[in-house]
Amino acid sequence: MAAEPPHDDDDDDDDDDGAAAALNWDGETDASHVAGPKPPRLRRPGRERKPARAPIPASGVDAPVVDDAGAPTSSFLLVTYGILAGAYGLYAIGWLVSVLRSTLTLDSLLSEIMYQFGEFLAIAAAPVWFAAVFYLTRGRRPIARLLWLLVGLVLLAPVPLVLGV
């Protein structure tokens, strides 16, 4: 039997340096490296965090506190919003087709300009309603947003296209 050479502790340091190098990403120490966002902290159930008060402005009126850490939107709501956005897009296209089919001409210039402006508003109404609902229902429950979007689907239907006028 051949005798093994004595084990030297200096070899272990080389292995530790190699393992540390394997766990580092190349360019991590680069000055242009930007770290991503930190993952959200999980809170224990039962411990409620008190909302932070905003500093009092010089006018003496409390400024509203904005909480950027809102709950993420559920997949069901995202899919529903996508379907509704597609319906509103189809409504805008439907109104455009209705306007392009129209052959109405009016006697006075002012009447013609007002009629064409009304046609433009009819085309723009669906996307504007969709955006306005999202803007005006910030911070409210999703059911309120869905109800207003459904009201818009009823009110903004391209009736001339549906009736074949």
| pLDDT tens sequence for the chain (165 residues) | 566 666 555 555 555 666 666 676 666 666 676 677 777 776 666 655 555 565 555 555 555 544 444 567 788 999 999 999 999 999 999 999 999 988 888 899 999 999 999 999 999 999 999 999 999 998 888 899 999 999 999 999 888 887 877
Please check whether residue 109 lies inside any domain of the structure: yes
Please check whether residue 105 lies inside any domain of the structure: yes
The values of phi and psi at residue 79, to 5°, are: -65, -40
pLDDT of 133: 94
Please check whether residue 61 lies inside any domain of the structure: no
> What tokens appear for 13 in the block?
């340091």
Residue 155 to residue 95: CA distance in whole angstroms:
13
To 10 degrees, the CA torsion angle through 30, 31, 36, 42? 100
Residue 26 to residue 12: CA distance in whole angstroms:
23
Please check whether residue 106 lies inside any domain of the structure: yes
Please check whether residue 43 lies inside any domain of the structure: no
Residue 74 to residue 78: CA distance in whole angstroms:
6
Please check whether residue 103 lies inside any domain of the structure: yes
pLDDT of 152: 94
pLDDT of 131: 94
User: Cβ neighbours of residue 112 under 8 Å, at least 6 residues apart?
Assistant: 105, 106
Question: Total structural domains in the chain?
Answer: 1
Please check whether residue 128 lies inside any domain of the structure: yes
Please check whether residue 23 lies inside any domain of the structure: no
pLDDT of 68: 45
Q: Which domain holds residue 106?
A: 75-163
Terminal-residue alpha carbon distance, the chain: 103
